[in-house]
Amino acid sequence: MATRNYPMCSVVPPYLLNALAESEHNNEDIRKSARHCLDFSKTYIAKRQRVFAELTAPRGARGAAAPRRSRGIIPDTLLKHIAESEDVDENTRNSAKRDLEHIAGIQAKYQQAQGIAAEQKTLATSSAPAETKATYRAVYNANNTQDEGDLPGTVVRVEGQKAVSDQAANQAYDNAGNVLSFYLDIFNWNSIDNKNENVISSVHFGQNYENAFWDPEINQMVYGDGHDFLGNFTNAVDVIGHELTHAVTEHTSPLDYTGQSGALNEHVSDTFGVMVKQRVQNEKADEADWLIGEECLMPGVKGVALRSMKAPGTAYNDPRFGKDPQPDNFKDYAATDDDNGGVHLYSGIPNKAFYLSAVAFGGYSWEKAGKIWWETMRSGQIPPKCTFIQFADATVDKAEELFGDDAAAIVRKAWNEVGVVRKTHA
């Protein structure tokens, strides 16, 4: 397989996989599976650090990577499948036909510029609408491969198609739609890049693979089927919201994936992931459980979720993989070389600040707290190596700009309560 240049971020943190791999309460099969997932996770977390460094490198800087090529065009074969499918509605078929013609036109121009004669074969588009806001979704079966070179796999369900017999495929399709509608309806953000990029997913990745991740090298979601303790990833809309938000972060304020900025990167994904879940469940901030990945713990596990934004450090406590280690206050922050400087570990600190802000504002979390965080990420004021206090200051400033002094005071109080306090000098 060719060397990959880009990373993935997985929803199950490395410290949990490591605990599974080392616990004497687990049999060797479980420990071996966890070690396998951990090795895979470590490799691509290191690569994620590089991709965000590339995204934030000044143009022309020595050693800066060339901009990544957009991978937003759906393969011709997939468009043809949509255009000819009897399982999709007429508007969807017409849109696919239109896009096929557009791609063929671009290819013809390229071939003409290169002096290549090409016979154009396009489908009729006389009845196609002028434009559509629908974002293409397609779900594939990875057929249990763990070789990314084989992805996406075999097509299972495409945009506009009715439900299929593969329940994981249906869940991945529907929940991607929930995430996309959240961003479009609440923040007027179209798909993951605001340019209506298609969203591709592969289910059934690997053998007993206990994770789900966004792979930015091929711009798609990947889901394992899980094992004894962790699984059900396609049914967890907050997990899918978390992972797709990593892609959104690349197009708003890329945060270096290390140390405090990396923890903020993870925090932003948790924050928007949990808001998607709350919207799907129609829960106001004070009604929600603020859990991330509650669907992912299998029956019998002593815990409620992968993480808790309301009470970091309390999500699980099981001898087979230990106690949730997330601190909830900056006083417990300590530099570490593990997990890219604790990006999953310390995200709980800003997570709790967002929870406190949202509950204090009342109503739905995205109405004020979410809008403040979103506009902060869109402000251009977040540096790649952002610290917690810098991010806190930016959210306070944005709260004041959007909602006034009282809102700014609410957000500042939330950050103060988690120990992210601006120093004062006598």
CA atoms of 351 and 311, how far apart (whole Å) = 9
Strand partners, 9: 214
CA atoms of 363 and 381, how far apart (whole Å) = 27
**Peptide bond between residue 152 and the one before it cis (omega within 30 degrees of 0):** yes
| Rg of the chain over all Cα atoms, to the nearest angstrom | 22
List the one residue out of 421, 371, 423, 419 whose CA is nearest residue 399.
371
297, containing H or E segment: none
Residue that the structure tokens 């020595």 belong to: 62
DSSP state of 301: -
Residue that the structure tokens 């230990």 belong to: 322
Q: What angle do CA 383, 384, 388 make, to 5 degrees?
A: 70
| Cβ contacts of 67 within 8 Å, gap of 6 or more | none
Q: What angle do CA 219, 49, 177 make, to 5 degrees?
A: 30
CA atoms of 204 and 168, how far apart (whole Å) = 8
List the one residue out of 83, 66, 268, 287 whose CA is nearest residue 187.
268
Strand partners, 224: 205
Choosing from 159, 243, 250, 266, the catalytic residue is 243
CA atoms of 419 and 331, how far apart (whole Å) = 6
Active site residue 86: no
Helix (H, G, I), strand (E, B) or coil at 232: coil
Computed from CA positions of residues 217, 222, 226, 232, in that sequence, does the dihedral angle turn out positive or negative?
positive
Backbone angles phi, psi at 41, to 5 degrees: -65, -45
CA atoms of 224 and 350, how far apart (whole Å) = 28
Choosing from 81, 242, 246, 344, the catalytic residue is 344
CA atoms of 141 and 253, how far apart (whole Å) = 32
- In order, the DSSP letters of 358-388 are HHHH-S-TTTTHHHHHHHHHTTT---TT--H
Active site residue 344: yes
Instruction: Tell me the catalytic residues.
Output: 243, 344
